Structure 1
Amino acid sequence: MKLVVMIPAYNEEDSIASVIKEIPRDCCDEVEVLVVSDGSTDNTAEEAKKAGADRIVISKKNRGLAPTFKIGLQTALEMGADIIVNTDGDGQYNGNEIPKLIQPVLDNKADLVLGSRTKGEIEYMPLHKKIGNRMATFITRHVSGLPVSDGQSGFRAFSRDCALRLNVMADYTYVQETLIQASYYDMAYTEVPIEFRKREGSSRLISNIFNYARRAGTTIARGYRDFHPLKTFSAIAGIFLLAGFVTGGRVLVNYFNTGAVGPYLPSAILTVLLFVIAILVFIVALVADMLKTHRKIQDEMLYRLKKIELEE
């Protein structure tokens, strides 16, 4: 059983060495550390090498967390990982808790294990981030259907099969998208409580909470649209249909009373327009649902191709 601990890092030269050295090397038959330097302009890669990283992937430019996570996941699979743990390079997650994190995967009870800060111990988290985390977690929980208590946690363990099925498409953060996909692919999910330490310095990802909320919200919305297109577009069609009934109500009342549309002609035209839009959006819902079926087939083919390629 081989464990690969992957660490996406951007300008973490001050903390990356301590993060690597804290990773226990005896929690699996074989443990390797993978560092993905996302266009770092400091000595992150050099410090990682000195600290004993087994493999270092260096991106020439800063691509962002989600693309870096995707690169790390693929590289870890190529390294022969049976279990993959993702942790941050800033030292906020305790590497000594990795054995606890991977145990449900080792016991064949879970494909995805999330390290929950809210169920564990948080040394420090700014109030605005606590509020943002709770709001994002609430939305992620309802969109994914999983009992998620800390949707923004990056301390996670993936089985090989789960990692093969994940296809990260976002360009900002992966945390919500991977939960939505895991639910869609019916992956076994569980959580373990973890320790969350105070960060030294500012966050590389969440420098602006409003920008994070906007981009993370977009990722969640796209994920729900892609995996639940019939519900998404039917709801939009329902809104237009309801608006049509509202605007058309007084037109009908006046018609039954006077036998003519009279002064409500603009409302009548608007009502017809709203009904037509509702019908068109519902047609889009049906087409999108058919495309979802094709995507499911394509995802299964991609999963099998990945397995064949990596086995070879």
Structure 2
Amino acid sequence: MKLIIQIPCYNEGGTLAVALSALPRYVEGFDSVEWLIIDDGSQDDTVEVAKANGVDHIVKHSGNKGLARAFMSGIDACLKFGADVIVNTDADNQYNADDIPKLVEPILQHRAELVIGARPIETIEHFSPAKKLLQKLGSWVVRVASKTDIPDAPSGFRAINRETAQKLIVFNDYTYTLETIIQAGQKDIAITSVPIRVNEELRPSRLVKSIPSYIKKSIITIVRIFVIYRPFRFFGTIGLILFSLGFLIGLRFLFKYFEGNGSGNIQSLILSSILLGMGFQTLLIAFVADLLSANRKLLEDLRFKTAQSHNINNNKKFRLESEDPKNID
């Protein structure tokens, strides 16, 4: 069993050494523990620090692609290097690395395939009230969309088994945290959370450059999540609201008309017609979006089965080469 701990990095030369010094080289249940960093176009000495501190694998982006792309590049590389379990953590040493054994335990016991480290949000001093509120809001939205009970959805401290890692696809460029949990809920992946500890802040969050920016990006992320993963509910709700408003305004016009005041309420008739038309069209979009969502799921399943077949063929090839007398010293 191999565990690979991956760390997405962007200009993390000042904190990476601290984070790496805390990582374990042995975790019970695994034969080997390796470290991997994803250099997301860093312009400082991140790579040099990683090499000096014994990182086993380095994945480089030619430019800054964003946290979500860095996360997925790391997942792909970990699978390539034969990881059975992948742990994702941050380069700013936010998460307490001593909790890694606790994080992987549900996977080793076959109780879960994806494990999220739940931070003590209320007691983290450097989190502003607005950020705490948004963390709770984001977690609530994810629970509704994914039908899971994860209390800290934005947490990046997580463990993933190999099969689940092969299934994950992230469309969002901003962050991977919310989307991967929703995918887990939709794909019937066994997911759970464990309480973890956090360390003192070494630097301000890169994702939260300012509260207004964080609010804006969080709202966009949440809306996109619903559009992608719950399209029928999203467009259907909007369509029903518009159609219902148009229907009620139309009833009001009819009431006035039969009272003999219809000529003075033509505006209500026009508004009712517009809202009914918009509502009906939005409901049609809901059905089309639902069909597209079903097609996406089929493509994701095909991608997963293709990846599994490729891995099986590679394993067979490896065994055949090992059994060939020419390859024996």
Could you say which TM-score interval applies, normalised by the shorter chain? Answer: over 0.9
The match for 1:22 is 22
Tell me: CA distance 1:94–1:121, structure 2 relative to 1, closer, same or farther (3 Å). farther
1:78 counterpart letter in structure 2: K
The match for 2:162 is 160
Contact 1:132 1:209 in 2 (8 A): no
The match for 2:326 is none
Q: Select 2:195's aligned residue among 193, 196, 202.
A: 193
Structure 1 residue ranges (4+ consecutive) displaced by more than 6 angstroms after TM superposition: none
TM-score, structure 1 as length reference: 0.94
Distance 2:60 2:292 in 1: 36
The match for 2:297 is 296
Distance 1:204 1:139 in 2: 23
Contact 2:121 2:132 in 1 (8 A): no
Say which SS state the counterpart of residue 195 (structure 1) adopts: coil
Contact 1:123 1:196 in 2 (8 A): no
Contact 1:5 1:85 in 2 (8 A): yes
Q: Could you give the per-residue CA deviations for residues 236-274 of structure 1, whole angstroms, max 9, x where no partner exists? A: 11111122033223211111112x731211211221121
Tell me: CA distance 1:164–1:120, structure 2 relative to 1, closer, same or farther (3 Å). farther
Contact 1:22 1:95 in 2 (8 A): yes
1:122 Cα deviation from its structure 2 partner: 4.0
Distance 1:71 1:24 in 2: 22
Distance 1:232 1:255 in 2: 35
2:21 counterpart letter in structure 1: K
Distance 1:134 1:120 in 2: 10
1:305 Cα deviation from its structure 2 partner: 1.5
TM-score, structure 2 as length reference: 0.90
Distance 2:215 2:311 in 1: 36
Say which SS state the counterpart of residue 186 (structure 1) adopts: coil
Distance 2:234 2:133 in 1: 26
Q: Could you give the per-residue CA deviations for residues 92-121 of structure 1, whole angstroms, max 9, x where no partner exists? A: 111121111001001111011010112897
Number of aligned positions between the proteins: 311
Q: How does 1:83-94 map to 2 (within 5 A)?
A: 83-94=85-96
Contact 2:11 2:46 in 1 (8 A): yes
Q: How does 1:103-118 map to 2 (within 5 A)?
A: 103-118=105-120
Bigger fraction of residues in strand: 1
The match for 1:32 is 34
Tell me: CA distance 1:308–1:121, structure 2 relative to 1, closer, same or farther (3 Å). farther
1:200 Cα deviation from its structure 2 partner: 1.7
Q: How does 1:113-262 map to 2 (within 5 A)?
A: 113-118=115-120, 122=124, 124-258=126-260, 261-262=262-263
1:13 Cα deviation from its structure 2 partner: 1.0
1:124 Cα deviation from its structure 2 partner: 4.4
1:181 Cα deviation from its structure 2 partner: 0.7
Say which SS state the counterpart of residue 114 (structure 1) adopts: strand
